[in-house]
């Protein structure tokens, strides 16, 4: 009987530290990530792992997607957790989005001109980015509408892209209420 070492599989995927430091990841790299890669966004060439959402966050996301699916015009489709190409080295993954219905179903990354609405549900770890960075990024990419949903209590802030480049103007806000049977 012989003893041979058991091959240990490599650890889970993580970004190359040298490429992270150089900030030279591109959208092409995102499309070629291995199957075991975590949920990520690409920001100015740096891969950022996004935290797993909470159950409450997922409840809001699901109910909003269902509502949009039911009420949006037929030429639009509601989706969850799909990447949006903002620039050659930046992509974001809105929690919910409305995109043009003709976008092929096999896409995991869509162009900003296919997106009508991007929605972010604010979590403790994403407050600053969801409130300050993402509205301007989505507007600069040409996405006409951005909704930010705050939790506890649930509150919706709706923004519309203005004629000038820069952060979108706050259009209106309102409280969301939910009734459960």
How do residues 31-68 score in pLDDT, each as one tens digit? 999 888 899 999 999 999 988 899 999 999 999 999 99
- Domain boundaries defined on the chain: 17-48, 53-175
Quote the pTM value: 0.83
Percent of the chain that is helix, strand, coil (3-state, to 5): 25, 30, 45
Question: What pLDDT score does 36 carry?
Answer: 86
Burial class (CB in 10 A: 0-12, 13-18, 19+), 177: exposed
Is the predicted pLDDT of residue 10 greater than 70, yes or no?
no
CATH of 53-175, one of 3.90.1570.10, 3.40.50.20, 1.20.210.10, 3.30.460.10: 3.90.1570.10
Q: Any idea which residue has 């058991």 for tokens?
A: 6
> How many residues are given for the chain?
181
DSSP assignment, residue 9?
P
Residues β-bridged to residue 67: none
Question: What pLDDT score does 52 carry?
Answer: 87
Q: Are 84 and 94 in contact (CB under 8 A)?
A: yes
Within 8 A by CB and 6+ apart from 66, the residues are 78
How do residues 94-134 score in pLDDT, each as one tens digit? 999 999 999 999 999 999 999 999 999 999 889 999 999 99
Closest alpha carbon to 12 in 58, 53, 49, 44: 49
Q: Are 5 and 12 in contact (CB under 8 A)?
A: no
């Amino acid at each position: 009987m012989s003893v041979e070492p058991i091959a240990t599989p490599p650890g889970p995927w993580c970004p190359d530290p040298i490429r992270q430091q150089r900030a030279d990841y591109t959208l092409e790299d995102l499309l070629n990530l291995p199957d075991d890669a975590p949920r990520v966004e690409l920001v100015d060439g740096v891969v950022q792992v996004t935290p797993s959402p909470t159950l409450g966050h997922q409840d809001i996301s699901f109910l909003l997607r269902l509502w949009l699916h039911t009420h949006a015009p037929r030429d639009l489709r509601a989706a969850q957790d799909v990447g949006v190409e903002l620039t050659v080295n930046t992509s974001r993954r809105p929690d919910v989005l409305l995109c043009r219905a003709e976008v092929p179903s096999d896409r995991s990354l869509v162009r900003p001109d296919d997106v009508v609405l991007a929605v972010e549900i604010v979590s403790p770890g994403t407050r600053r980015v969801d409130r300050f960075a993402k509205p301007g990024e989505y507007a600069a990419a040409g996405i006409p509408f951005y909704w930010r949903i705050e939790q506890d209590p649930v509150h919706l802030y709706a923004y519309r892209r203005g004629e000038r480049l820069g952060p979108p103007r706050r259009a209106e806000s309102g409280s969301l209420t939910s009734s459960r049977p």
